[in-house]
Amino acid sequence: LPVACSSLPEMQDTVKATNEGPSKKEVHELGKKMAAAKVSSHSFVLKAPKGTRDRNPVQMRILEQVFTVIQDSFKRHDAVSIETPVFELKDVLTGKYGEESKLIYNLEDQGGELLSLRYDLTVPFARYVAMNKIKAIKRYQIGKVYRRDQPAMNRGRFREFYQCDFDIAGDYGVMMADAECLRIVYEVLRELNLGEFVIKVNHRRFLDGLFSACGVPADKFATTCSSVDKLDKTPWEEVKRELLQEKGLSPETVELIGEYTQISG
């Protein structure tokens, strides 16, 4: 905050106090004032916004250790790190996520540009590659992304969360990139020592073939995919109701989708 200083010694004292930071007593008093603060005659409740969370020092230490394991694996596979802004031009993000575009946080125009908070790290990476005319790159990026979703924190649905991305752009050989991505997933899960695990491959072309076999019209592949993607966190009965009532698929087609998507082993 700007501070008015009438003399050089006063200015030096102000700078010194700023560099040293507030004392424990001052921090304690500030906390008491914030807890007792009132806004528009209503009590001010101190809490994190819905769909977000704080992390204490112990949780941050664990998170940093996890990130180290992930980054080390990325680097072993010759990936380089880049950084992109937490917000992008609205036009860059619009239309890239199908129905999920409604979950993008749009920002008010304050600088002559229409902006949105990033929904993931992949579309900003694609913009970066195209803008810099990059022919081939292996890149990783770890950062927060934002979704204007109805949060269900007990089911892992947040409005703000980290993504750890590893992407390969360019020609690195037939299926080599796919195999390398699977290898990285295996390395990370093994080194985190989470116990036994199964790696499931989710490929859009697999789904397109499944939808075609089930009788889904080609123009409804994308909207059907957005519903089926919810099966990891949503019971089949809810997804089924959405496919029938909101997506307009026939009962026969939905039953076939249910049979295929619930096969395991």
Average pLDDT by stretches of 10, the chain with 265 residues = 41 47 75 65 79 95 97 96 95 82 85 91 96 96 93 81 95 88 96 92 82 91 88 89 92 92 73
pLDDT value at position 16?
47
**Distance between CA atoms of residues 254 and 237, nearest Å:** 11
Give backbone dihedrals phi and psi of 141, rounded to 5 degrees, phi first. -155, 135
Helices (H), the chain: 8-20, 24-36, 57-76, 90-93, 122-131, 176-191, 204-214, 221-228, 236-245, 251-261
pLDDT value at position 240?
93
pLDDT value at position 61?
97
**Distance between CA atoms of residues 89 and 127, nearest Å:** 10
Chain center to CA of 120: 5
pLDDT value at position 11?
40
Identify whether the C-beta of residue 216 lies closer than 8 Å to the C-beta of residue 249.
yes
For 125, 181, 200, 234, 257, the CA distances from 249, given in Å and listed in that order, are 34, 34, 26, 19, 10
Beta bridge partners of 167: 139
**Distance between CA atoms of residues 70 and 249, nearest Å:** 41
* Distinct helix (H) and strand (E) counts, the chain: 10, 7
The amino acid present at 118, given as its one-letter code, is R
Specify the DSSP class assigned to residue 219. Answer: G
